[in-house]
A and B are shown apart, each in its own frame.
Chain A
Amino acid sequence: MANIDTLNSIASQVRRDIIRMVSKAGSGHPGGSMSSTDFITALFFDKMKHSPENWSRNGKGNDMFFLSIGHVSPLFYSILSRSGYFPIDEMATFREYGSRLQGHPCTEKGLPGVYMPSGSLGQGLSVACGAALGKRIDKENNFVYVLIGDGETQEGQIWEAALFAAHHKIDNLIAMTDWNGQQIDGSTDSVMNLGDLEAKWKSFGWEVIVADGHNMEEILATFDAAKAASGKGKPIMILFRTDMGHGVDFMSGTHKWHGKAPSAEQAAEALKQLPETLGDFKI
């Protein structure tokens, strides 16, 4: 198991990457990227079985990760490059013409680690269900992970997939919700109240775990618990309680940084709060 301090230091670099990518591009989505950073870091750097250097889109022999909330692409690109899927300096091309690092992830340009385009919300859970069924047919003993957003669960298709996964007993699927309570127009409570998410997923027949999405020790234990709950006829949902924009004081806990790039001064201020642990990508 990776050292907790090591994972936290990787997470600090990932948040730096997010700020630097979005700031350089002048647009992008830092808030949700930073709320999901800790548990996605734990997943890629400790809990997931994957082969960054020999990645194949068919995912055979490995766990697969799907990002349903495509707008948190800065997080995804940082995690992928820091894991070894592609050179870290490519992060400097984020959102540029011709880049493999499109504003929202795509497969057309062949970026390793991206199985499916995302951006239009509500679709990734269904995609993950399909991939999990594929692994079941092939009698593969690997997991399919998917990250959805709490605001995204306002999409009806999420609940189609919720029914489908339970009905077909897709128990090699571990879904994660970034439960940061914020979306573009404001808090999820004020925009479209999600009610009791835990009760909702349970009532749909899922195994549900609620965890602190910023406590590395708890995150690692949660993934272990999720894996232990697999193979028992129920899909698994981890609801990670998080703060949007976590890691930078003036960006934390507000919807205002959902889809806004920090200015050069703001970026400099943010980076002061995030130690450079693995070396920044070159701009």
Chain B
Amino acid sequence: MDILKNFPNSGNKDTRSGFGAGVAEAGRRDSEVVAFCADLTGSLKLDEFQKENPDKFFECGIQEANMVDAAAGISLCGKIPFIGSFANFVTSRVYDQIRQCVAYAGTNVKIGASHAGITLGEDGATHQVMEDIGMMRMLPNMTVLNPCDYNQTKAATIAAAKYNGPVYIRFGRPSVPNFTPADAEFEIGKAIKMVEGSDVTIFATGHLVWEAINAAQVLSDEGISAEVIDIATIKPLDTEAVLASISKTGAAVTAEEHLIAGGLGELISGVIARSGSLYPMEFVAVDDKFGQSGTPARLMKEYGLDCEHIVAAAKKALSRK
């Protein structure tokens, strides 16, 4: 079966550009949208919004803590603030600010987290945050989005602007295939079935969705029918879709550019544990270590996050049925 033909790549693009385009579009649709950036306007692709809304864009310099709380403050006045920085600088560095004035306060702040995960590549471990999903999903009131390509990131950003409440949006730096439809509306809290299958389910998120689709093709060529579900919303998790799929296929693989601790795999294993049924499950994620410099492709391979590792994990899960 030719699975890949259903996912034509309209040209490689970085997901951070989807965020920038999404914020600009959200600004055109709603005059209350404002943006803050901490000396990374170009990296976050916020230039377009800044150019169109010079009075609603606030450069913060290199001070992320102030940025988070200033955004929380302006949100009280009915504004819809997007803030942007690298994923580690808008999570671990400012966790207390997010906890008190965004999550606990329930303020309408949208946190744009770029350069997430190991695919940041050459910058190395100080910048490759792989704990952010865990940190953000632990916070009550926080919605956590991890879209998979340019189009989906743009749509998720526009959806975040419309949603009332704190949202964390995670995306990355490398150019990756852009394979979801340009006109698809993003529905927060809905898992997206990318490939229908019957033997094993691959729950993937972010950059790993493309790897999972490719893995489904490889498995299909070997006679294994894999279902691929894009968990674009980590929180609230579409538990119904997760259980429906896993009870059909009877085995699960999770794939994410994140540590096992706090990640999608742990999240779904918890859903399974509470479901009353037992299913074999394998984790494609990083196990309790930091990253290092290298090309994104090399790192994905070395850290076990690519198509090949998903295929192996799927076969292992199947063998444990």
Contacts and interface: CB of A to CB of B under 8 A. Distances in A.
Given A116-B72, A116-B76, A135-B77, A129 B66 contact: yes
A131 B100 contact: no
Determine which residue in A124, A128, A160, A167 has the highest number of CB atoms from chain B within 10 A of its CB, and name it. Answer: A160
A164 B34 contact: no
Contacts of A60: 77-78
Interface string B71-98: 1111111110100000000000000110
A5 interface: no
B27 to A, nearest CB: 13
B10 interface: no
A58 B74 CA distance: 9
Contact of B105 (A59, A107, A167): A107
A57 B71 CA distance: 15
Contact of A120 (B58, B66, B71, B100): B100
A57 B104 contact: no
Contact of A127 (B58, B73, B79, B106): B73
Nearest to A126: B69
B40 to A, nearest CB: 16
Given A118-B100, A133-B58, A58 B66 contact: no
B93 to A, nearest CB: 11
B288 to A, nearest CB: 29
B105 A117 contact: yes
A84 interface: no
A123 interface: yes
Interface in A55-110: 57-60, 64, 66, 106-108
Nearest to A161: B66
Nearest to A123: B69
Given A106-B104, A107-B105, A116-B76, A127 B70 contact: yes
B34 A128 contact: no
B84 to A, nearest CB: 15
B56 interface: yes
Contact of B72 (A130, A132, A163): A130
B60 A164 contact: yes
Determine which residue in B56, B76, B101 has the highest number of CB atoms from chain A within 10 A of its CB, and name it. Answer: B76
A138 interface: yes
Interface residues of B, number: 32
B63 A59 contact: no
Interface in B4-50: 34
A64 B81 CA distance: 19
A157 B78 CA distance: 24
Contacts of A164: 60-61, 63, 66, 70
A4 to B, nearest CB: 33
Nearest to A162: B66
Nearest to A167: B61
A138 B77 contact: yes
A134 B74 contact: yes
Contact of B73 (A130, A163, A167): A130
Contacts of A58: 76-78
A220 B61 CA distance: 36
A59 B104 contact: no
Contacts of A108: 104, 106
A163 B61 contact: yes
A117 B97 CA distance: 11
Contacts of B99: 120
A163 B70 contact: no
A126 B78 contact: no
A137 B107 CA distance: 18
A257 interface: no
A107 B106 CA distance: 8
A143 interface: no
Contacts of B69: 123-124, 126-127, 130, 157, 161
Nearest to B62: A160
A93 B152 CA distance: 48
A123 B97 contact: yes
B10 to A, nearest CB: 37
Contacts of B183: none
A122 B105 CA distance: 16
Contacts of B78: 58, 60, 134, 138
Nearest to A140: B77
Determine which residue in A122, A127, A128, A134 has the highest number of CB atoms from chain B within 10 A of its CB, and name it. Answer: A127
A123 B65 CA distance: 8
A115 interface: yes
Contacts of B104: 106-108, 117
Determine which residue in B34, B68, B101 has the highest number of CB atoms from chain A within 10 A of its CB, and name it. Answer: B101
Contacts of B2: none
Nearest to B64: A160
Contacts of B240: none
B55 interface: yes
Interface of B: 34, 55-56, 58, 60-61, 63, 65-79, 81, 96-97, 99-101, 104-107
Given A126-B69, A127-B72, A134-B75, 16 more contacts: A106-B104, A107-B104, A108-B104, A120-B96, A123-B97, A126-B65, A127-B101, A129-B70, A129-B73, A130-B74, A133-B70, A134-B79, A137-B56, A137-B77, A157-B66, A164-B60
8 contacts: A115-B76, A117-B101, A130-B69, A132-B73, A133-B73, A157-B97, A161-B70, A164-B60
